[in-house]
Amino acid sequence: MVNTGIIIGHFEPLHLGEMRSILAAAGQAKILHIIITTHPAPHPNFNITLQDKARWLQMACAELPFIQIHTTDEIALPLHENFDDVSIDIPASNAKLQRVIDDLSLPTDAVLFIAENHPLAQDGTREQLAMTVITTPLQLEFDSYAIACDPIGYWSAIHPQARGDYTKTVAIVGGESSGKTTLVHKLANYYGASFVLEMGRLYVGTDLGGSEIGLQYSDYGPIALNHAQAIREAAANATAPVTIIDTDFVTTQAFCEEYEGRTHPFVTACVDEFRLDHTIMLDNNTPWVADGMRSLGNPDARGRFEQRLLAIFTRHNIEPYLIDKPDYDARYQQAVSFIDQYIYGKK
In this prediction, what percent of the chain has a pLDDT beyond 90? 68
Per-residue pLDDT band for 104 (boundaries 50, 70, 90) equals: confident
pLDDT tens per residue, range 8-55: 999 999 999 999 999 999 999 999 999 999 998 999 999 999 999 999
Q: CA 298 → CA 192, 284, 307, 310, 323, distances in Å?
A: 36, 11, 14, 19, 20
Phi, psi of 152 (to 5 degrees): -65, -45
pLDDT, tens digit, 9 for 90 and up, residues 258-273: 999 999 999 999 999 9
CA-nearest of 233, 261, 260, 264 to 249 is 264
**Predicted pLDDT of residue 230:** 97
Predicted local confidence at residue 81, as pLDDT: 65
Please report the pLDDT score of residue 260 as a whole number: 94
Contacts of 260 (CB under 8 A, 6+ apart): 216, 217, 220
| Mean pLDDT, range 246-259, rounded to an integer | 94
Q: Is 3 helix (H, G, I), strand (E, B) or coil?
A: strand
Q: Distance between CA atoms of 325 and 323, rounded to whole angstroms?
A: 6
As a whole number, the mean pLDDT across the chain is 90
Report the pLDDT value the prediction gives residue 179, as an integer from 0 to 100: 83
What structural domains does the chain harbor? Answer: 2-151 (3.40.50.620), 167-342 (3.40.50.300)
pLDDT band at 175 (very low <50, low <70, confident <90, very high): confident
Burial class (CB in 10 A: 0-12, 13-18, 19+), 226: middle
Residue 79 — φ and ψ, nearest 5°?
-100, 130
User: Please, how many CA atoms are within 13 Å of residue 4, restricted to the half-sphere of its CB?
Assistant: 12
